[in-house]
Structure 1
Amino acid sequence: MSKDLRPSAEARTASVVNLAQALIQCPSRAGIDGYGPVLGVLEIWLAKHALSHRRLHDDAGAVVGLLVEIPGGHPGPWWTLDACVDTAAYGDETAWSFPPTSGAIVDGWLLGRGAADSKLAAALFCHIAADLAPRADTLRGGLAVLLDVDEHTGGFGGALAYLADPDAVRPAGVMIGYPGLDEVVVGGRGLWRASITVHAPSGHSGSSKTVVGAISRAAHLVRLLDSAELPGVDDDSGFPLPPKLSVTAFHGGQGFSVTPDRADLNIDVRTTPGFDAADAEALVRKAVAALDAESPAPASTQVTPVASWPPFRLSATQQPAAALLNAAVEARLTVKAKTAGPSNIGNLLAGQGIPATAGFGVPYEGLHGIDERAHLAELPTVYTVYRHAVLSLLDG
């Protein structure tokens, strides 16, 4: 099938790039820019191509995504293509060698924030929807395209609103358009996150009376956590990565003359099937108990869990991973199934019992960094792979 689709993909590449350029030139930094303009670019394009779409909102009424739906003419499961159109911040703009909203093409690279993550994928997925809409009555189930504008916040509001929408059909699986040509990401470590508040008596730093302040107690807790023994790779589960614990924030005190009575920490634990959220919480609470026993304070150390996502990993024969891997082989690509260390929307979906792939796309540089860019020579092949995968799922 890929031989039949390749000419169509090559013909569509210029249009895909044009839409991606328009999206890149519209700032949509998470938590900084409003999302109305970038969604407006998509809505104009979708309306021009007669694709049914609607905005998604969170519980507070804020817009968090755009949903395109193409129902097939025969019963069957629905499948979803997902790409975010909000982006990371620019960072130090003076360090960029081109404007972050450039959208220019230089030496075969599409330049600008969102080129890699994931405005090019959003443009590609919109075009696949436009390709399939005229033949929708021949398809089984249906295709949804989710265009998320609450991804880089970590809130994943678009995905949550989609899954909570009573009018949307729950998908049998999702393919997320993160970039990278050599791998199909079929899994990721989960996470358990908590904030920790450490207490102590306050005092004057110059007092003749020695006071073990909250910062010193918190520093000791960090040492306990850093030295905590975590298991290695669990060979029995087949999950290829070990768990990992990181202290990611440390706040406390002000000025110089006061020994503070409070310090706050953020803890991030990446989990696996053999070391899950319950294990992570137990490990952290054990370290906290040891701190309070060794160095008592007027109030016990508080642990407040703030987020928990399960790890996930699809087998090479499980959909939609199988469809995407098979389509890549048909396109004569050498790809491997990868389990990623960072978490992503795939973890959120796994918690809902929805299998997902979380990455296959064009080569890229500078994702979340300076000089973000996406290489366009491989775009027709990536287009072919995704379109082949979607058709294999919808043709049943």
Structure 2
Amino acid sequence: MTTDAADLTARLIRCPSVTPEDGGALVLLETLLSQAGFTCTRVDRDGTPNLFARWGEKGAARSFGFNGHTDVVPPGDPASWTHPPFSGAEIDGVIWGRGATDMKSGVAAFVAAAIDFVHDTPPDGAVILTITGDEEGTSRDGTIALLDWMRETGETMQVCIVGEPSNPEIMGEMIKIGRRGSLTATITATGKQGHAAYPHRANNPLHALVRLLAGLTAAPLDRGTEHFDPSGLQITTIDCGNPASNVIPEKATAVVNIRFNDAHSGDSLTAMLRERAAALEAETGVRFGVEVFVSGESFLTQPGPFVDLVRDVVAGQTGVTPVLSTSGGTSDARFVKDMCPVLEFGLVGAFMHQVDERVPAAQVRQLKDIYQAILQRYFA
């Protein structure tokens, strides 16, 4: 049996699934997977569309999972595109449209691989697909909802591949075996408003806030760990909403984002930020508030049998031995890792989120072949 992953990619692109709209993408996949013998369940939560699909028995002794998303970021001005962003047009072997790279092609590849694999060589075990419509949005009711539902209903997967684009330039060069954590802190400094000519009658919160930020950026958080680059702290905004040049403002706010490795946790970094703010508050009299949102902790899938299997298959299929990496931002792998070992392998990500997002059709078909070979090796 041959399911064309490139054709499925084009069909998915034609579904205008800008977060949180489904645009018919999951309906298309549910129909296709049900016809192929998968048990499909919609796990929608708070308006977010999600699909769980399983071939094989529930609770099977061996199970292999794939995870991905069909939602996409907005395309921007359609007039800026060479071909309409939801056309799914294939021109000279290249498929155009929003989601062509990130990541309707990845979903199409593992769906096509799973369908053909269970048809041609039915495994002694289960193949699990978890597909969300909320990866590009808040990510609170997508893969998290699917995993919550799986725990509640006794569904499980023993290993999982997230099909996000993982290769910088060529197919096969990189597998993501972990990701840094991400923390965003909103720091508010409250002083006393006053006339700029009479600073002794005021307490400038900006001065205290700038001192805090200078201390946070004066030295690296760390020098990196065995599998991770050094953590990074970036100031992303500073604002006091003050239109007057002769007024000392009462309040100022800054936002910092920290991408952190496994030398830290969200809790340890939160404590550090609050301790430094408290020290300056005691010294200056400016009151500090620190609100923190941790979108994901750092994680690592230790190299071992699962990583080796995927690495060997990728090398055999592409002729390139992939580097094991923890680079990049965050993905839904940060949630999947709470259930089972997880890694990321997908297409070349050069055109993610860009105008004229596109992917070579041959690359999508190659990714499907890689996924199918991984399934064959795993269940051999």
Give the alignment's TM-score, normalised by structure 2: 0.87
1:379-390 alignment, distance < 5 Å = 379-390=364-375
Counterpart-to-counterpart distance in 1, 2:343 and 2:105: 17
Question: Are 2:262 and 1:273 aligned?
Answer: yes
Question: Alpha-carbon deviation of 1:48?
Answer: 4.2
Counterpart-to-counterpart distance in 2, 1:214 and 1:95: 44
Counterpart position of 1:161: 145
Q: Which one of 45, 48, 51 corresponds to residue 66 of structure 1?
A: 51
Counterpart position of 1:44: 31
Counterpart position of 2:174: 183
1:248-259 alignment, distance < 5 Å = 248-256=236-244, 259=248
Question: Alpha-carbon deviation of 1:116?
Answer: 0.5
In 2 relative to 1, CA 312–209 (structure 1 residues): closer, same or farther, beyond 3 Å? Answer: closer
Deviations 1:279-319 (A, max 9, x none): 3223322431343234212xx31122221533222344242
Deviations 1:29-87 (A, max 9, x none): 224xx2253222323333444432121123xx323311111125994132211111001
Counterpart-to-counterpart distance in 2, 1:50 and 1:325: 29
Counterpart-to-counterpart distance in 2, 1:250 and 1:348: 31
Equivalent position SS for 1:282: helix
Equivalent position SS for 2:101: helix
Counterpart-to-counterpart distance in 2, 1:127 and 1:170: 21
Counterpart-to-counterpart distance in 1, 2:130 and 2:59: 22
Q: Given residue 223 of structure 2, which amino acid in structure 1 is its aligned partner?
A: G
Give the alignment's TM-score, normalised by structure 1: 0.84
The alignment-based identity, stated in percent, is 22
Question: Alpha-carbon deviation of 1:353?
Answer: 5.0
Deviations 1:238-278 (A, max 9, x none): 22311111223334315437644333333222222223334
Question: Number of residues paired by the alignment?
Answer: 371
> For the Cα contact (< 8 Å) 1:346–1:355, is it kept in 2?
no
Q: Which one of 324, 337, 355 corresponds to residue 341 of structure 2?
A: 355
In 2 relative to 1, CA 195–42 (structure 1 residues): closer, same or farther, beyond 3 Å? Answer: same
Counterpart position of 1:302: 289
Q: Which moved more, 1:76-85 or 1:220-229?
A: 220-229
> For the Cα contact (< 8 Å) 1:365–1:371, is it kept in 2?
no
Q: Given residue 265 of structure 1, which amino acid in structure 2 is its aligned partner?
A: A
Equivalent position SS for 2:88: coil
Counterpart-to-counterpart distance in 1, 2:232 and 2:58: 47
Question: Alpha-carbon deviation of 1:23?
Answer: 1.5
Q: Given residue 241 of structure 1, which amino acid in structure 2 is its aligned partner?
A: D
Equivalent position SS for 1:246: strand
Counterpart-to-counterpart distance in 2, 1:273 and 1:78: 28
Q: Which one of 130, 141, 151 corresponds to residue 146 of structure 1?
A: 130
Equivalent position SS for 2:125: strand
Equivalent position SS for 2:43: strand
Equivalent position SS for 1:377: helix
> For the Cα contact (< 8 Å) 1:198–1:301, is it kept in 2?
yes
Counterpart position of 2:42: 55
1:1-396 alignment, distance < 5 Å = 11-12=2-3, 15-31=4-20, 34-35=21-22, 37-58=24-45, 61-72=46-57, 75-134=60-119, 138-165=122-149, 166-167=152-153, 169-179=155-165, 180=167, 181=171, 182-203=173-194, 211-234=202-225, 238-256=226-244, 259-297=248-286, 300-307=287-294, 309-319=296-306, 321-334=307-320, 335-350=322-337, 352-361=338-347, 363-395=348-380
Q: Given residue 140 of structure 1, which amino acid in structure 2 is its aligned partner?
A: D
**Structure 1 portions without partners, runs of 5+:** 1-7
In 2 relative to 1, CA 205–318 (structure 1 residues): closer, same or farther, beyond 3 Å? Answer: farther
Equivalent position SS for 2:211: helix
Question: Alpha-carbon deviation of 1:223?
Answer: 2.0
Q: Given residue 310 of structure 2, which amino acid in structure 1 is its aligned partner?
A: L
> For the Cα contact (< 8 Å) 1:316–1:325, is it kept in 2?
no
Equivalent position SS for 2:17: coil
> For the Cα contact (< 8 Å) 1:80–1:144, is it kept in 2?
yes
Q: Given residue 283 of structure 1, which amino acid in structure 2 is its aligned partner?
A: M
> For the Cα contact (< 8 Å) 1:112–1:372, is it kept in 2?
yes
Counterpart-to-counterpart distance in 1, 2:211 and 2:75: 36
Question: Alpha-carbon deviation of 1:381?
Answer: 2.5
Deviations 1:345-391 (A, max 9, x none): 222233x1521112332x34320222211122233322121111122
Equivalent position SS for 1:284: helix
> For the Cα contact (< 8 Å) 2:336–2:342, is it kept in 1?
yes
